[in-house]
Amino acid sequence: MIKTIFVCLTIFVLVKCENDSRPKFIIDNDAGGDDAMAIFLSLLYEKHFNGPKLVALTTGNGNTQEDNVCYNNQRILKVANRQDIPIYRGSKKSLVKTPSVTDYYGKDGLGDSGETYPDLVPAKDEGAVSALIDYSKKYEGQLTVITIGSLTNVALAVTLDPGFLGRLNHLYIGAGHIHSEANPEPEFNAQVDVEAYHIIAQNATADKVTVFPFSQAREYLNFTKDWRINVLGAINTEIIKHQNKYEKVSLQKEPRWQALDPAVISLFLRPDLVQEYKYSKNDIHICGTNRGIVTNEFVEKEKANVRIAYSVKTEEYRQFLLDVFKYDANSPVSN
């Protein structure tokens, strides 16, 4: 009798998972403190708000070297009690020129907290690029890919499989600036792999690709350090306690808190947070002194290759973070 019940429950769970009609997405990341927040946000929203289903993480060089990125992804999933999510390892270097990694979020990318775990689930044998292509076929028309690091893995997927972008529901990119006197320098994610950004721009269409530039996060999602530490950071959950550790190094370096990666994820999870979209002929300088600087020519949708999330509802976004992060994910997950 017990065996029969167990078999029935197993079949029920498998059928339920297979028939899950929620949108699916992958986060392609370089596992700094802001990436951790983006992943935590996704998992909490999935569980407590019946949000889109995170089906995989893919890793790449950026905030820290890829070995650290993979380990950080394992740590993040362990803290969130979601080690069921597979990790696929990706690019260790850029397509042409690989900049030095930074220690903005600490030497390990997660605040140098020194945490170790003996029972982390290893990454899959399949590489990130192959996995991206395979998932785009498995969930054709349903899968969104969100890049919050360099675009190397996605650019390689596009190059190896020209049908890749067409099979996606959407691609979200957190990178670049809308160039201005206030933002004259290249943005980090775009600069990590300039050629990869160029490949995506050359293949993008406005109905498939949305870009949220860091310049717009600076303008609309520019919060005080006091709010980050004493309001958001004061939420008494294990996830926020870990998140505070992961951002401990970076919070000492800036007078304000401007995090791109959780914002990009939020605009996917809650499109109503976008106040205004603009359409652009978008690309990046690959040569000379302007290398790494993103270009935008705002045009009608029919002439554009990307949609730009230009402005965001500041207070609604702030409240969204508070509403989601008040939940603690350290409890059994029901799929």
The answer to whether residue 8 scores a pLDDT higher than 70 is no
The answer to whether the CB of 191 falls within 8 A of the CB of 296 is no
- Residue 199, CB-side half-sphere exposure with 13 Å CA sphere: 22
Question: Strand 87-88 and strand 294-298: pairing?
Answer: unpaired
φ, ψ dihedrals at 134, nearest 5°: -65, -45
Tell me how far the alpha carbon of residue 154 is from its chain's centroid: 13
Q: What is the pLDDT of residue 3?
A: 54
- For residue 333, name the pLDDT band (cuts at 50, 70, 90): very low
Q: Summarize the confidence of residues 6-33 as an average pLDDT.
A: 73
Q: Summarize the confidence of residues 299-306 as an average pLDDT.
A: 98
The answer to whether the CB of 232 falls within 8 A of the CB of 115 is no
The answer to whether residue 106 scores a pLDDT higher than 80 is yes
φ, ψ dihedrals at 307, nearest 5°: -105, 130
The answer to whether the CB of 174 falls within 8 A of the CB of 260 is yes
Name the residue ranges covered by the structural domains of the chain: 23-325
Amino acid at 101: V
The answer to whether the CB of 60 falls within 8 A of the CB of 93 is no
Q: Which burial class, exposed, middle or buried, applies to 228 when counting CB atoms under 10 A from its CB (0-12, 13-18, 19+)?
A: buried
Q: What is the pLDDT of residue 12?
A: 46
How many angstroms separate the CA atoms of 211 and 146, rounded? 10
How many angstroms separate the CA atoms of 159 and 52, rounded? 27
Q: What is the pLDDT of residue 56?
A: 98
199-252 pLDDT, tens per residue?
999 999 999 999 999 999 999 999 999 999 999 999 999 999 999 999 999 999
Amino acid at 146: I
Q: What is the pLDDT of residue 331?
A: 53
Closest to 58 (Cα-Cα) out of 155, 194, 138, 140: 155
CATH of the domain spanning 23-325: 3.90.245.10
List of residues 6+ apart from 138 with CB closer than 8 A: none
4 or 171, greater pLDDT:
171
269-279 pLDDT, tens per residue?
999 999 999 99
In our burial notation (b when 16+ CB lie closer than 10 A, e otherwise), range 177-210 reads bbbeeebeebbbbbbbbbebbbbbbebbebebbb
Q: What is the pLDDT of residue 6?
A: 47
The answer to whether the CB of 56 falls within 8 A of the CB of 25 is no
36-48 pLDDT, tens per residue?
999 999 999 999 9
Q: What is the pLDDT of residue 60?
A: 97
The answer to whether residue 2 scores a pLDDT higher than 60 is no
Q: What is the pLDDT of residue 115?
A: 87
The answer to whether the CB of 166 falls within 8 A of the CB of 123 is no
